[in-house]
Copies of this chain bind each other. A is one copy, B any other.
Amino acid sequence: MGEQNTAPACEFMHVHQEIVEKVNQAMPQEEQLFDLAELFKIFGDSTRIRILYLLFEAEMCVCDIAQLLGMTQSAISHQLQVLKKSKLVKYRREGKTVFYSLADSHVRAILDQGMEHVCE
């Protein structure tokens, strides 16, 4: 759509028109691509990944997570907000304590897929 395409093309496209059409059909919507990148960005930090691995085992309060990971309460709380915003964790208040737990069944599957690549 946009006319700001300033890509300095080579003489001719190497890919055939047929491929171009297949690509245009297979390429997801702009918004989906953006959301997908946002999702993977969340997983692209080892602190957040470690939090998720903790929550695989049990729901936990902010303080326990901080202690188990050897990080400050503030750092963990900030990251939990990030995870909350992206709907990967949910929370439950009990008095002064807030317990966090996994909100999405895909989390495990996504991390496992990534691990398969890392461990090969």
Contact = CB atoms under 8 A, between A and B. Distances in A.
Contacts of A22: 57-58
Contact of A118 (B10, B36, B70, B111): B36
Copies of this chain, whole number: 2
A36 to B, nearest CB: 5
Main secondary structure of the interface of A (DSSP, over half): helix
Nearest to A99: B14
B46 A43 contact: no
Given A23-B57, A33-B46, 7 more contacts: A7-B71, A23-B68, A27-B53, A35-B118, A36-B118, A40-B41, A106-B117
11 contacts: A9-B63, A15-B68, A23-B57, A27-B53, A27-B54, A28-B115, A36-B49, A37-B46, A39-B118, A41-B45, A110-B113
